[in-house]
Amino acid sequence: MEFKYLNEQIIAEIKKCRERFPLKEQCIIPALHKILDVYRDIPQEAIEELSEYLQVPLADIEGIVTFYDMFRYRKNAKNHIRICRNLPCHLARYQNILEMIKKKTGADIGKNSPDGKWYIELVECIGSCGIAPAFLINDDLYDGSKIKTEEDIEEILGRYE
Ligand code: FES
């Protein structure tokens, strides 16, 4: 069976777990930890593959992922927002941008917005410290210092509706 998201490392972790535990369900959480290690969040496609690999219902795995906050769940949001949190962006108060984006989209860090349009991720330096606080919407880079009001954010988000 060919998997795109369950790479060798993840499959090795699952196999190791399966040798130790009798129930395949006992290997869901270790597998999710490994997926998180590899991708820094949990892509929807990875849990679909995990469900197929372990022969466990997808809904059971989704239930675990959404229950534990540590599993940041990337469920195919239409738009992916990446906000830099490193020192220059921290000093430039990226938190203000984050709060406005959270409010306007309904998404939270590592959680999709209820309408599935937005996913927010905090990331390390994106090489644009000169325009701190910097953030990306999909592949578009933004200079957060130019954003003063919620209307500014609203206008930008409107481009991706
Ligand atoms: S520290 Fe934020 S872009 Fe470099």
Q: What is the pLDDT of residue 74?
A: 66
Q: Which atom of ligand 1 is nearest to the CA of 131?
A: 3
Residues 63 and 87 occupy one common structural domain: no
| pLDDT score of 101 more than 70 | yes
**Which of 83, 86, 131 has most ligand 1 atoms within 8 Å of its beta carbon, as the pocket-test mutant?**
86
Together in a domain, 54 and 91 = no
Residue 87 CA: nearest ligand 1 atom is 1
Confidence category of residue 75, pLDDT binned at 50, 70, 90: low
Q: How far is the CA of 82 from the centre of ligand 1 (A)?
A: 11
Give the per-residue pLDDT at 55: 96
Domain shared by 58 and 83, yes or no: no
Q: What is the pLDDT of residue 110?
A: 80
| Percent of the chain surpassing pLDDT 70 | 96
Is residue 2 domain-resident? no
Question: Which atom of ligand 1 is nearest to 132's Cα?
Answer: 2
For the chain, the DSSP string reads: ---SSS-HHHHHHHHHHHHH-S-GGGGHHHHHHHHHHHHSSEEHHHHHHHHHHHT--HHHHHHHHHH-TTS-EE---SEEEEEE-SHHHHHTTHHHHHHHHHHHH--BBTBB-TTSSEEEEEES--S-GGGSSEEEETTEEEEGGG--SHHHHHHHHHTT-
Question: Does residue 1 register a pLDDT over 90?
Answer: no
* Residue span of the structural domain in which 130 resides: 79-158
Q: Which atom of ligand 1 is nearest to the CA of 89?
A: 2
125 lines ligand 1 (CB under 6 A): yes
**Ligand 1 binding pocket includes 89 (Cβ within 6 Å):** yes
Of 54, 74, 94, the one marking the end of a domain is 74
What is the mean predicted confidence (pLDDT) over 68-73? Answer: 74
Q: How far is the CA of 88 from the centre of ligand 1 (A)?
A: 6
Q: What is the CATH number of the domain that holds 105?
A: 3.40.30.10
